[in-house]
Amino acid sequence: MNQTVTYLQELTAIPSPTGFTREIADYLVKTIEGFGYEVTRTAKGGVNVTVPGVITDKQRYVTAHVDTLGAIVRAVKPDGRLKLDRIGGFPWNMIEGENCTVHVANTGKTHSGTILVHQTSCHVYKDAGTVERTQDNMEVRLDEKVTNEKETRALGIEVGDFVSFDPRTIVTDTGFIKSRHLDDKVSAAILLNLLRVYKEEQIQLPVTTTFAFSVFEEVGHGANSSIPAEVVEYLAVDMGAMGDDQATDEYTVSICVKDASGPYHYEFRQHLVALAKAQEIPYKLDIYPFYGSDASAAMSAGAEVKHALLGAGIESSHSYERTHLDSVVATEVMVDAYLKSDLVD
């Protein structure tokens, strides 16, 4: 797991809110080409690599997404602070108190800040703890000497500048990984490590497989295009959702049976379950009620494929997330077992 965790730390250190993913795509291209593969960039910014297998007329498509939640400057306020618009689905309270970086398009520079509710001081605002957090009162306090709109705009900051959240990635001695954007950089790290292993150990997969790193999953359309015509199986490697009534935990691989888009392909799911049982991979079956994936986006776009979804169990999704190395291991072993298996009947 050391190399997978290293990839994860490198990935989380690169800001990549949806729509601002060129830097992380460059990282993927450099890393994968370093393994010895030929890489393709899609028109909308994704990174694909096709690994030849024994079977070529029927193929597989395996995805992880590297775009994350984030924000974009909605307005510069009269006091010099920034009003935001969200990128991706999260409640405003999930980012309150978070340090952030403003990526200025006009200058190429960055400016640090903190995301706060306007009524932060409990010594001044009676409703500091109870006021509803909304787009109207959440703001970025810049780490610059600015007190009005003119001074902020003098920094080059304008509407449309992206805002990324500090990931705060920590790996504990007890095996927990705490960070923003484990959704879905854990999965991307897993796919990177498998690509490395397959090349170094000269492993030929039974089925030609495209590894696709998508960059628009958090806004719903993800890897619903650029799917080769030969693809018959589509596996999205994403996060397992945890909470009340959920079976998913931080120590196993979660196999999704249904999300907000509907059920995943039954025979494909059972194929994964059979592999997990045969290889003694700890797993849980689960439903993610308010969730969509690259695979479900592809189905909505009309892809004629069997589709499935699995991933590491992620606690506190879309907030300051956490998982355990046990879940990362189980997920990586599960993806590897699938890629080395026969096609789904």
Let me know whether 75 and 57 are in one domain.
no
pLDDT one-digit tens code per residue, 225-275: 989 999 999 999 999 999 999 999 999 999 999 999 999 999 999 999 999
Average per-residue pLDDT in the chain? 97
Backbone angles phi, psi at 319, to 5 degrees: -125, -145
Q: Whole-angstrom Cα distance, residue 41 to residue 143?
A: 36
Q: What is the pLDDT of residues 191-202, one digit of tens each?
A: 999 999 999 999
Query: Looking at residue 262, what is its pLDDT?
Result: 97
DSSP letter string, 139-166? EEEESSS--SHHHHHTTT--TT-EEEE-
Q: Which of 79, 84, 72 is nearest to 153 (CA)?
A: 79
Q: Are residues 301 and 188 in the same domain?
A: yes
Q: Is there a single domain that holds both residue 209 and residue 319?
A: yes
Same domain, 106 and 195: no
- Residues recognised as catalytic: 217
150: tokens are 């003119």
Q: Which residues are annotated as a binding site?
A: 65, 183, 218, 238, 318
Whether 193 and 316 share a structural domain: yes
Q: Which residues are annotated as a binding site for Zn(2+)?
A: 65, 183, 218, 238, 318
Residue 242 sits in a domain whose CATH number is 3.40.630.10
In this structure, the answer to whether residues 127 and 193 fall within a common structural domain is no
Residue type at 11 in one-letter notation: L
Closest C-alpha among 177, 166, 159 to residue 82: 159
User: Could you list the residue range(s) of the whole structural domain that residue 61 is in?
Assistant: 3-68+181-340
Domains held by the chain: number: 2
* Residue 299 banded pLDDT, cuts 50, 70, 90: very high
pTM score of the predicted model = 0.97
> Does 292 lie in the same domain as 208?
yes
- pLDDT-based confidence at residue 155 (cuts at 50, 70, 90): very high
The count of C-alpha atoms lying within 13 angstroms of the C-alpha of 53, restricted to the half-sphere facing its C-beta, is: 23
